[in-house]
Structure 1
Amino acid sequence: MKMSSHDSCPYNQRMGFFYNRSNITSTEWDQTQLILVQCFGSICCGFILVANVLVITAVITNRRFHYPFYYLLSNLAASDFLAGIAYVYLMFNTGKVSHELSVQVYFFRQGLLDISLSASLANLLVIALERYISVMNCKIHSNLTKRRVTLLIILVWGISIFMGTVPYLGWNCICSLELCSKLAPLFSRSYLIFWSVSNLVLFLIMVSIYLRIYIYVMRKTVVLKAHTSGSTNHKRTPIKLIKTVMTVLGAFVICWTPGLVVLLLDGLDCQRCEVLKFKRWLLLLAVLNSVMNPIIYSYKDEEMWTTIKNLMRCVCSGTRRQRSSKANIQRNSAHETSTSLKENTTEDSKVSTQEMLTS
């Protein structure tokens, strides 16, 4: 649906107008639930932001991570970081507050979530292709140059930003309210069908790629073990990297597939499905996925976990040094003050003694 300036398009209406048409008001949070969700969500989002910053910093500071796979992994952490920002913005612009939002602010709120999801999905697809190329060439890391990796990262974010802004650019139902969905009252049902089906197809493609890679690597490993008598620890490194990404992909699919299925049912205008009941639980699953990813990186990759621990120790030692330096400054200032007071007292006593002798 193309956006136009026709009088029948209620662009100046607040979101309460569209929520009432979609019957979303009957499933809104009450004040107590909203406060609990905001507190719990703030803790989760704080962890998401800090943990993904540590992952990105670990890749930048550790030279052992200066390979295409880890650059793309840090870009995946950046998309999770954006997701954390999007969840914070969503939590404090939901409930009764959401009814007062303008159309533009609502598109911005949903666009942040869509961009972060698109970026995560695109990153996982690029990582899958990078792993496929490297494994089929019997290498731990691919021969992608930094320039090509940079171009891939720019391409990922370009596509993600475009996908997140498509509803605002025109594929919405503001001028055709009868085509609006229930879960996202400004999004047309046709857009939800396109969004959910395309993402589910990408899930299947990535799962099939990783299954092919895993089967190939396991066969190669069996052959190498049969023909080599030495240690094969260095040959297990590709398997470790693949297991890390497969775990991330598995968590992503488990956390997002229910939401995509519900969006598809909403797009198909399923009247019996009662999709509004699942709205809050689907959001909780999405937050859980962004919480799990940095944990998976550190749990599956010992080098990553060691680097993150060293970073945290550096931060803690830095704060301790700052505290100790502040304490030393305070002690020195207190010592100087007491010394000056003693000197002043001594001088005063000398003056008073001289005055007494003179008198």
Structure 2
Amino acid sequence: METLEEAELCFPQLLNSSCKKLTRPRPEALTIYILMSCVSLLTVLLNLLVIVSISHFRQLHTPTNLLLLSLAVSDFLVGLIVMPFQILLTEPCWFLGDLMCTVFVFVLYITVGASIANMVLISVDRYVAICDPLRYSTKVTQMKVKLCILLSWVVSVFYAFMMLYDNLKDPGRFNSCYGECLINVNGAVDLVLWFLIPISAIIILYVRVFVVAVSQARSMRSHIAAIKLQRSMTVTVQRSELKAARTLGVVVAVFLMCYCPYYGISFSGPAIKMSSSTNLLFFFLIYFNSGLNPVIYAFFYPWFRKCVKLIATLHILQPQSRLTNVM
């Protein structure tokens, strides 16, 4: 239960239809504002670095990095658009109107959906790279990846529209009073179609990836002394792919930890009150995940650290900087 001070009305002129203004204690509200504002700013800046790095340097234009770019775009939009609105929802009353409440949740669903779709695509990419490396270059091309990314965003928009159709058709129809932001969704359908099925696919693919990875590692250790030059080059490529799989595995693991609590509220009922403290915590975990991904890249990808240095020193403004070796 929230600790609330004396109740007032959100809209005093609407005595019988206004929501009560149940304000949070000032220390709690101030903590929420500062924490979410900092996370929002860091999410925007860090993901912008990923977007600029992969977009600018030609050497990074690989199928895997295109998927990371799409993920960074969805995370960037979370920090730039979704989180500022969520900060407004920490207020006891929603003053932007029913339409803006619905639009906010609509954008939230698109970005969350795109992130989940990107995670599935990343898992498929690593599965093919590790389990069928000889045909990876023919199966996974830049054009195919671009089409898959486009399709994932289109599906995310369509899914958001279908889930929020009643809310978009008549914004505010589920509010019990003026000054409330209440959204009605089918939690069971959302849980199954946009969480359990994709997450099951991700887990199955990564279990397969790591089983093959362990098998390859044992094989390389037992035969390393007898490997010829050509075989050595193959091993080097395999090690690179295994490192990428481990890195993206960490991304997926963090993703699961941050998103599971959010989808747990699907069992609480169809109506989601966006400003409740419990929901704010769950949504914050999702937003926090959007800021964590670039941090993971910084720890595991040397090319990202090098790109950040080149961007910070304005090297990208020099002629032919796109051709710089960052690997």
Q: What TM-score comes out, normalization by structure 1 length?
A: 0.70
Matched, 1:134 2:129: yes
Distance in structure 2 (CA, Å) of the matches to 1:19 and 1:243: 53
Matched, 1:72 2:75: no
Match of 2:166 among 166, 170, 173: 170
Matched, 1:248 2:245: no
Provide the residue aligned with 1:204 in structure 2: 200
Provide the residue aligned with 1:262 in structure 2: 265
Query: Does the Cα contact within 8 Å between 1:69 and 1:141 map onto a contact in 2?
Result: no
Provide closer, same or farther for how the CA distance between residues 119 and 19 of structure 1 changes in structure 2, counting only shifts above 3 A: farther
Provide closer, same or farther for how the CA distance between residues 17 and 115 of structure 1 changes in structure 2, counting only shifts above 3 A: farther
Provide the residue aligned with 1:223 in structure 2: 219
**AA at the equivalent of 1:90:** Q
Distance in structure 1 (CA, Å) of the matches to 2:219 and 2:293: 33
Deviation of 1:138 (Å) = 1.9
RMSD: 3.3
SS of the residue corresponding to residue 186 of structure 1 reads: strand
Provide the residue aligned with 1:278 in structure 2: 278
Matches for 1:336-347 after TM superposition, within 5 Å? none
1:112-165 Cα offsets, whole Å, 9 max, x none, are 211111010000001111221222222596433332222111111111112223
Kindly name which structure, 1 or 2, has the bigger radius of gyration based on alpha carbons: 1
Distance in structure 2 (CA, Å) of the matches to 1:264 and 1:49: 31
SS of the residue corresponding to residue 184 of structure 2 reads: coil
Distance in structure 2 (CA, Å) of the matches to 1:33 and 1:290: 23
Q: In proportion to residue count, which structure has more helix?
A: 1
Provide the residue aligned with 2:324 in structure 1: none
Deviation of 1:60 (Å) = 2.0
Query: Does the Cα contact within 8 Å between 1:124 and 1:249 map onto a contact in 2?
Result: yes
Deviation of 1:90 (Å) = 2.1
Distance in structure 2 (CA, Å) of the matches to 1:17 and 1:168: 28
Distance in structure 2 (CA, Å) of the matches to 1:316 and 1:69: 22
Unpaired runs of at least 5, structure 2: 1-14, 319-327
Matched, 1:159 2:155: yes
Distance in structure 1 (CA, Å) of the matches to 2:42 and 2:134: 34
**AA at the equivalent of 2:218:** V
Deviation of 1:276 (Å) = 5.0
Deviation of 1:268 (Å) = 10
Provide the residue aligned with 1:235 in structure 2: 238
Unpaired runs of at least 5, structure 1: 1-15, 270-274, 319-359
**AA at the equivalent of 2:41:** G
Distance in structure 1 (CA, Å) of the matches to 2:277 and 2:223: 58
Matches for 1:1-359 after TM superposition, within 5 Å? 29-85=24-80, 86-98=82-94, 100-139=95-134, 142-143=137-138, 144-170=140-166, 185-188=182-185, 191-198=186-193, 199-229=195-225, 232-267=235-270, 276=276, 278-314=278-314
